Amino acid sequence: MKKWIAFIVILNLCQLAYPSETNGEAAPEMQIHFIDVGQGDSMFIRTPMNRTILVDGGPPGAGDEIVSYLRKQNIKKLDLVVATHPDMDHIGGLPEVMKHIEVKEILDTGKLHPTKTFAAYINEVRKQSIPVRIAEKDTSIEIDPMMKMEVWNAFERLKNNNESSIVLKITYGEVDLLLMSDVEQEQEKAFLHDYNVKAEIIKVAHHGSKTSSSLEFLQGVQPEVAILTYSKENDYGHPVNRVIENLYRVHSMIYSTAAVGNVVINTDGTDYIIIPEKNPVNKLIESAG
């Protein structure tokens, strides 16, 4: 109960930054949508030049919800779908998305996984002959010249699905976004050594699990905003108290899909505005009912 009281207090504090204008004209916006798919990940990105990216598709059963959400955004095609790793809470909804939304290309780890969920995903990719690119560490994804999209982590032999999951750093102007997928503390240590990890916004790794989000790493990132994606009824204890305490210690504002539903961040490359779907108190009451 104390954990949820802490969530309510911090989520009622809204940190907003407003888009600036240059020479009287507003800069083009990039939108990042953290879709509430329950216990799983799904992020939709509309780039400054209107390219469309979907990162993960949530668990099985989330596909219809994602398709509905994308249609409300007037999305008829996706320029890129990123399947960060083959766990069911990340690729489960992608077959349904592929059936209803045109997908031009998929970025995948190339890691096989012997599950029905993975088989359904691969079968739909093959059925539609969607081109698949295998992610490589230390490469850039060329999709919009106004932004940078870097791959920091990808499949390695002898590493499990989470350790091999695709991590992306997206930069638009002065605003950096880290999408941490489900990587663990070993990968975080490598990032601190290999990259400039500082970012204004972070999608917290592995739904706030005990495996990730070390204090040392978060101190390096110094995130102003942290997004947690999970269901409050999950069986894994996500998020663990240590992760929440670490986020408090680096003075990060926490937004959780479990508490506020969908979260949208709009940025012009200088400032950003955060738009939670619901008041956290109302969301919790609604869920309890």
Any idea where the domains of the chain sit in the sequence?
2-11+29-288
pLDDT of residue 3: 41
What's this model's pTM, rounded to 2 decimal places?
A: 0.89
Residue 266 pLDDT > 50, yes or no?
A: yes
Average pLDDT for residues 60-81, to the nearest whole number? 97
**Where does the pLDDT of residue 13 fall: very low under 50, low under 70, confident under 90, or very high at 90 and above?**
very low
Strand partners, 26: 21
Residue 61 pLDDT > 70, yes or no?
A: yes
Query: How many whole angstroms separate alpha carbon 70 and alpha carbon 102?
Result: 12
**Residue among 142, 144, 141, 168 nearest 154 (CA):** 168
Query: How many whole angstroms separate alpha carbon 40 and alpha carbon 77?
Result: 22
Given the candidates 3.40.50.970, 3.40.50.1820, 3.40.50.1100, 3.60.15.10, the CATH classification of the domain at 2-11+29-288 is 3.60.15.10
Tell me which DSSP letter residue 216 carries.
H
